[in-house]
Structure 1
């Protein structure tokens, strides 16, 4: 039995899901193929993901392949209640998601999804897999494998694998080129700035935007912030990424220096305590704090609360002003949670088309190949990545060259010289 906020929202949710589907031609083609081939026939899937219209179209695709799906939300503030209602009442999924639910309810929903006894799991941050290994290890025996969608989740899974704790094969969907090169860079880049602008109505042109982390998400943010006229400063712990940022013309500084002159701070590191009390102490009046890393640990929200003498909740929707003892105001967006999914609508459907196509095809591959995989973290097969890219190009009416037989021979022979 699903646990959603309001079943009467199903009609609105269905309209929005169908709208998103129009921008997801690759996933739609895979859904049509799955309906014929039924690669997931009879399998149960438990997913912990953002409950958005794009995710709904992934769930529809898995169902077309023959799976039954139970979905819990991976972030209470990103849950779209109309989407949850539509999935439960129009598309026949079990959905455990309510916008704004507390931490206890969040984990209760994960447990409810797991109680369906899944054969495959889909995770977005590793909380579902972590819960399986800690609180519900009795269910692990039926799990054939799973997929992880985020950088944060992959980091956690790598550690589990290193410690020998991972008990079934997981696939790092996040690490495919058609996911991190496009979803992370173009999706996060656009949707994060969209969320900041919606929440604050600030003009980014002329502002100093400080971006913590220069992975694919940070690169996308930096490119787009510069395109809107901002001065961009990058903070990094990796010398190679810092050098890359510098050679692309971005400023590179430690956070302790950038904190004093930044106007907007955006964290995308996958780590905790990136912006802390020492940084709050020197920030400008009116500085904006936003997080686009998966969990709400990158900005020290508790430390900010300890420094504040008062907090003006929702000065604007999802923008809280923390007033410090010297009168300075720091503006925290979306309670330090994912600003792009909380203050905006997350990635555009067109970019999630590729990420969720990767997910769907990887699920089908796992269903077939799980017996040949060790309990470890695996890469998505290259042919899946290539297929998704090819389908996306075709949907955009873009053609590319192919190798001639002579070129193929040249690339595969060491005997042919100049």
Structure 2
């Protein structure tokens, strides 16, 4: 990032933290992508909270950014297993931030499996969670009881711009990886699993690139919406993927299970919008299919009479090319900062929440003041 861009971004975040100041001192654990623009957000988070640790998502780490962040904050390895075991999760946060008032900044619901134990038994106080993604939103919403506030920005109107551009970046990266092996997607049959905001953007972008698009979503309302937008719809996952030469998974909640892969047509390309463990049940296939790398970020899965290709090992395919969505991503980052400050003031009761419309409008005005021109 060039110096003028960094200065403008730092000024934007400074304006946000002045608008939404923290109350009592708080500490944060931050799950994040470590891409080139992320240090500015972390600097802003450190102005709102004491950063006990940064936990980078494993498939979205830029090495130069990692080295820069390691020089400023503790950086720890992140895995689903770390927080799936409540005892292990509790030991970790005791060691990292014992006795402190703690905000958990999440991307993907990592803290959800152990959240009740952390709230009940942590030597400090878990003030709440801020969740960034639809996948994580669903994980927290599925819990029987939330014992602390969880503020989700996943469905915020401020995220709409980012989601639209993420959809376009997904299609760009999938097309680039396919072209790298001498193939093209134009005029092919494509399938989008999941018709949320990102799935809708993917479907629209594919259509603009002259692909024939079929949509499947478990929610019949979303299937109706897809139909109203002029897309072909399918009644089942199997029906949706049967003729697709490109399958893009955007459900946020395990689009393809082990038995679904057999329905893929031979030679189909398969890509995901989020982490492979969230969208694709690939692990059981390791003993069934022979896996052979056939190009950069492209693996052929083959069993007698059947084969398909998985892009980026099933991870978010747009991270292969940096997942750039421009300055719109800072809208959601600003909302995360505002949510962290709100938790420090104790503004929310236990349960799943979104930020007030007035706070989002304030963030939008600040963004326009810094990036509109």
Summarize the alignment of residues 263-412 of structure 1 with structure 2, pairs less than 5 Å apart: 263-272=245-254, 274-294=255-275, 296-308=277-289, 310-312=290-292, 314-326=293-305, 328-341=306-319, 343-368=320-345, 370=346, 372-397=347-372
Distance 1:356 1:223 in 2: 26
Of 42, 48, 53, 1:70 maps to: 53
1:174 aligns to what? 154
What is the deviation of 1:387?
Answer: 1.7
What is the deviation of 1:42?
Answer: 3.8
SS in 1 for 2:61: coil
Contact 1:183/1:347 (8 A) holds in 2: no
What is the deviation of 1:176?
Answer: 1.3
1:159 aligns to what? 142
Distance 1:45 1:339, change over 3 A: same
Distance 1:175 1:25, change over 3 A: farther
State the TM-score, normalized to the length of structure 2: 0.86
1:219 aligns with 2:219: no
| 1:280-306 per-position Cα deviation (integer Å, ceiling 9, x unaligned) | 334332211111144524323134334
1:9 aligns to what? none
Distance 1:130 1:31, change over 3 A: farther
SS in 1 for 2:264: coil
What is the deviation of 1:216?
Answer: 0.5
SS in 2 for 1:46: strand
What is the deviation of 1:119?
Answer: 1.9
What is the deviation of 1:239?
Answer: 1.7
Question: RMSD of the TM alignment (CA)?
Answer: 3.0
SS in 1 for 2:75: strand
What is the deviation of 1:250?
Answer: 1.0
Contact 2:30/2:51 (8 A) holds in 1: no
SS in 2 for 1:363: helix
- Structure 1 residue runs of 5 or longer lacking an equivalent are 1-17, 399-418
Summarize the alignment of residues 80-95 of structure 1 with structure 2, pairs less than 5 Å apart: 80-89=62-71, 92-95=72-75
The answer to which structure has the higher strand fraction is 2
Distance 1:246 1:66, change over 3 A: closer
Total equivalences in the alignment: 363
What is the deviation of 1:346?
Answer: 2.2
1:241 aligns with 2:218: no
Contact 2:17/2:338 (8 A) holds in 1: no
Contact 1:96/1:112 (8 A) holds in 2: no
What is the deviation of 1:31?
Answer: 2.1
1:53 aligns with 2:36: yes
Contact 1:31/1:65 (8 A) holds in 2: no
1:189 aligns with 2:201: no
Question: Which protein is bigger by CA-based radius of gyration?
Answer: 1
Distance 1:143 1:280, change over 3 A: closer
SS in 1 for 2:34: coil
- Structure 2 residue runs of 5 or longer lacking an equivalent are none
1:149 aligns with 2:132: yes
Distance 1:374 1:252, change over 3 A: same
State the TM-score, normalized to the length of structure 1: 0.77
Distance 1:276 1:62, change over 3 A: closer
